[in-house]
Chain A
Amino acid sequence: MDLFRSSARHSTSSKNVAKERLKLVLVHDRVNVSSTFLEMIKGDLIKVISDYMEIDEDNLEVKMTKTKRDEDDTLVPALVANIPIKRMKGAIR
């Protein structure tokens, strides 16, 4: 008598779709609310990486985006940093 059984636990129920979409959109919203957030990450990244290599600070890009999770292709939020390198620092080589 599956006809009468609730489909609530099914993972593709529309409320679960809503929940996942909402979580994803809120990651972006919350970052945008604190505009200093990405700048802070950027500053710290430069600090750490500069010990090892000379980077092009003007063209450094840090942004929030989304990516597919490997195991089930669900969209998840991701922080992507694009850091152009000018040259490696001598001591490391």
Chain B
Amino acid sequence: MGEVIVITSGKGGVGKTTATANIGTALAVNGKKVVLVDADIGLRNLDVVMGLENRIVYDVVDVVEGVCRLRQALIKDKRYPDLFLLPAAQTKDKNAVSPAQMQELCERLKQEFDFVLIDCPAGIEQGFKNAIAGADRAIVVTTPEISAVRDADRIIGLLEASELGSPKLVVNRVRIDMVKKGDMMNTEDMIDILAIDLLGVVPDDESIVVSTNRGEPAVGDNRSLAGKAFNNIALRILGHEVPFLDLEVDEGFLVKLLKLISKR
């Protein structure tokens, strides 16, 4: 019996879909059977981030309405063993499925997969309620901005009210240069305020833009620091103890020289 994990944030644009794609791919690379479910009905994007947009025939609403069988709607990612995508419908809206239907769908997927990752839409309305309905646990994604942390706090409250307690936090798009200058909240600040456990810290990384352009998750790129951070998150989900990434970027010769001079 597998596990259903919902990836949520409240605020839009913090990297839920990128996190879902990368954590899911990393779990599959580590030998697990994984299905990614796009719960953002009407605004689907997990398909393009995964580079699978040209292979969609049926979607999650078709499955729920019985238009097709579950197996027909699942898209197999040929690049990775045992990685599948269940895309959202693009022409319907959030009311096309109910929490009870999502719960039933999750129960069916759990029979076949080790991990069912649900990409939750932004907001706290129907789409959010649908996305968390069948989940066993939750990952909250935030960025080091007031607005994102505030929304994360609200989401944590709502998850606890729905008995999806003790969600884990992923801090995305951290810029270590700004943190050092005191111009960006660091991970401890956010953990302190939100009072939840940390699952991972992901640096702001250009490789995410490039990998999204290409439709290839960054975990497949060995040089991507963000990809490595997502892979570590997957390993922690699998129960491994992985130290948090040292986000010190190589500062280059000039900065080192300046530091050397300033020490005198």
Chain A positions within 8 Å of B, measured between CB atoms, are: 1, 3-10, 13-16, 18-19, 21-23, 25-26, 29-30, 33
For B258, give the chain A residue with the smallest CB separation.
A4
Stretch at the interface among B23-31, B67-75, B179-187: B179-187
Which B189-211 residues have C-beta < 8 A from chain A? 189, 193
27 A–B contacts from the bound complex (CB under 8 Å): A1-B262, A3-B262, A4-B259, A4-B261, A4-B262, A5-B262, A6-B180, A6-B182, A7-B181, A13-B182, A13-B183, A15-B179, A15-B186, A15-B189, A16-B182, A18-B145, A19-B189, A22-B146, A22-B150, A25-B150, A26-B153, A29-B150, A29-B153, A30-B153, A33-B154, A33-B157, A33-B161
What residues on B are CB-neighbors of A16 within 8 Å? 182
Bound complex: CA of A22 vs CA of B144, how far in Å?
Answer: 11
- A31 vs chain B, min Cβ distance (A): 11
Bound complex: CA of A29 vs CA of B194, how far in Å?
Answer: 12
- B91 vs chain A, min Cβ distance (A): 34
Q: Is B185 touching A18 in the complex (CB atoms < 8 A)?
A: yes
Assess whether B149 is interfacial by the CB under 8 Å rule. yes
Q: Main secondary structure on chain A at its contact with chain B?
A: helix
What residues on A are CB-neighbors of B263 within 8 Å? 1
- B145 vs chain A, min Cβ distance (A): 8
A8 touching B262 in the complex, CB below 8 Å, given contacts A18-B146, A26-B153, A33-B157: no
Q: Is B150 touching A8 in the complex (CB atoms < 8 A)?
A: no
Which B106-151 residues have C-beta < 8 A from chain A? 145-146, 149-150
Bound complex: CA of A61 vs CA of B22, how far in Å?
Answer: 50
What residues on A are CB-neighbors of B146 within 8 Å? 18, 21-22, 25
Chain B positions within 8 Å of A, measured between CB atoms, are: 145-146, 149-150, 153-154, 157-158, 161, 179-186, 189, 193, 258-259, 261-264
Q: Main secondary structure on chain B at its contact with chain A?
A: helix
Bound complex: CA of A28 vs CA of B5, how far in Å?
Answer: 29
Q: Is B154 touching A29 in the complex (CB atoms < 8 A)?
A: yes
Q: Is B182 touching A9 in the complex (CB atoms < 8 A)?
A: yes
What residues on B are CB-neighbors of A9 within 8 Å? 182
* 4 further contact pairs, Cβ within 8 A, besides A4-B259, A13-B183: A1-B261, A13-B182, A15-B189, A19-B185
- B14 vs chain A, min Cβ distance (A): 15
Q: B182, B258, B261, B262: which contacts A15 (Cβ < 8 A)?
A: B182
What residues on A are CB-neighbors of B186 within 8 Å? 15
What residues on A are CB-neighbors of B258 within 8 Å? 4
Q: Is A1 touching B183 in the complex (CB atoms < 8 A)?
A: no
Bound complex: CA of A7 vs CA of B178, how far in Å?
Answer: 11
For A9, give the chain B residue with the smallest CB separation.
B182
Bound complex: CA of A9 vs CA of B180, how far in Å?
Answer: 10
- B35 vs chain A, min Cβ distance (A): 32
- B132 vs chain A, min Cβ distance (A): 16
5 shortest interchain CB distances as A-B pairs: A13-B182, A4-B262, A8-B182, A1-B262, A33-B157
- A22 vs chain B, min Cβ distance (A): 5
Q: Is B183 touching A14 in the complex (CB atoms < 8 A)?
A: yes
What residues on B are CB-neighbors of A23 within 8 Å? 193
- B57 vs chain A, min Cβ distance (A): 42
